Structure 1
Amino acid sequence: MSKAFTRESDQDDDDLPEGVAPIPKGSPNYITPAGFARLQAELRELTRVERPKVVEVVSWAAGNGDRSENGDYIYGKKRLREIDRRIRFLTKRVEAARVVDPAAQTNQDQVFFGATVTYATSKGAERTITIVGIDEADMTKGRVSWIAPIARALMKAAEGDEVPFRAPGGPETLEVVEIRYIPVD
């Protein structure tokens, strides 16, 4: 059967890039103002700059005749599909976004979205993480998603609290050393 007659899936996960977690069902896409601005900027760049350039190349290549051996046409169409998929993904994420400014947090005594938390492990190591949106997570910068197990374990904890955490190496107890709410860039 031709691809033209198959029905595409309506699942949101179809447009997820590799390694990106889906938003939990029924939850908004919590995101910081800086993260939201980055998503919007990428979406704007793709729709206003990159996609029109690729469409122009594909149109030019299509006018050159035989499309079966036309590299510009073949690779342009492939790139166009990649761009369209990313645009669909970004559009869904932006529409589901709920922007939360960490600096506006009123209850700064507990860990909530946007908190920068310093905690000590039961082995004595201290680590600092910032709880951010799914699309902003970057362990190299100490940013973890609010749906990550470590973030869920620390949620609603106060300074001095000890919270249980099921780490890959076995159960641990984490002690909250410091909680700060600073703007995430």
Structure 2
Amino acid sequence: MSRGFVKESDQEEPIVVPPRAALPEKEINYVTPYGKNQLEKEKNTLEKQRTELDTKDETQRRRELSLIDGKLKLLGERLKTAQVILPANQNHNEVRFGARVKFKMNGNVQEFQIVGVDEANVKEKKIAFISPLAKAMTSKKEGDKFEFHLGEESRPVEILKINY
């Protein structure tokens, strides 16, 4: 259509749906039971927002629906591939998915839980199982010491405690 027949006000900015946390291609989408529950809650919240959308402006309504639908689509794909890992089924003698690991790195004691990519949140002391630190810790046992390589740096790490 020629630009002569299009009103400037009809030119809407494209809707940008924020991407979900990165999950490398061909990587299994592991989640904790809590993580799966959070994804389901997020889906319910988005569906509720969609049905309760209250705006008189049709353009704004269309934009908000597009954003919600985009988020629901991405979330649906993530939920469809989610594989729940039960802590009870893990080897509690070593670091595995879902473990809460207390460790010493460079003399500083820290604690993180290894979780799915959608659950990862450093403020909540949760790191994704695909993170370099989680990968380096996997299969380690209490008392194990190893060097964690981060770029050109190497940091000594000792596993102090593993809980599920």
After the TM superposition, list the runs of 4 or more consecutive aligned residues in structure 1 that deviate by more than 4 angstroms. none
Structure 1 portions without partners, runs of 5+: 3-14, 62-71
State how many pairs are aligned.
151
The letter of the residue matching 1:28 is I
TM-score, scaled relative to structure 1: 0.74
* Structure with more of its chain in helix, by fraction: 1
Structure 2 portions without partners, runs of 5+: 3-15
1:91 to 73, 76, 79: 76
The letter of the residue matching 2:21 is A
Match of 1:8 in 2: none
Q: Deviations over 1:31-66 (max 9, x none)?
A: 01111011112212322x211223x74xxx4xxxxx
Check whether the contact 1:134–1:145 (CA below 8 A) recurs between aligned residues: yes
Q: Hey, what's the Cα distance between the residues in 2 that align with 1:106 and 1:31?
A: 13
Check whether the contact 1:116–1:179 (CA below 8 A) recurs between aligned residues: yes
Check whether the contact 2:17–2:67 (CA below 8 A) recurs between aligned residues: no
Match of 1:76 in 2: 61
Check whether the contact 2:90–2:96 (CA below 8 A) recurs between aligned residues: no
Root-mean-square deviation (CA, aligned residues, Å) is 2.1
Q: Hey, what's the Cα distance between the residues in 2 that align with 1:27 and 1:169?
A: 26
Q: Hey, what's the Cα distance between the residues in 2 that align with 1:35 and 1:106?
A: 17
Q: Hey, what's the Cα distance between the residues in 2 that align with 1:29 and 1:82?
A: 24
1:175 to 150, 158, 163: 158
* 1:47-126 alignment runs, 5 A limit: 47=47, 49-54=48-53, 57=55, 61=56, 72-102=57-87, 104-121=88-105, 123-126=106-109
TM-score, scaled relative to structure 2: 0.83
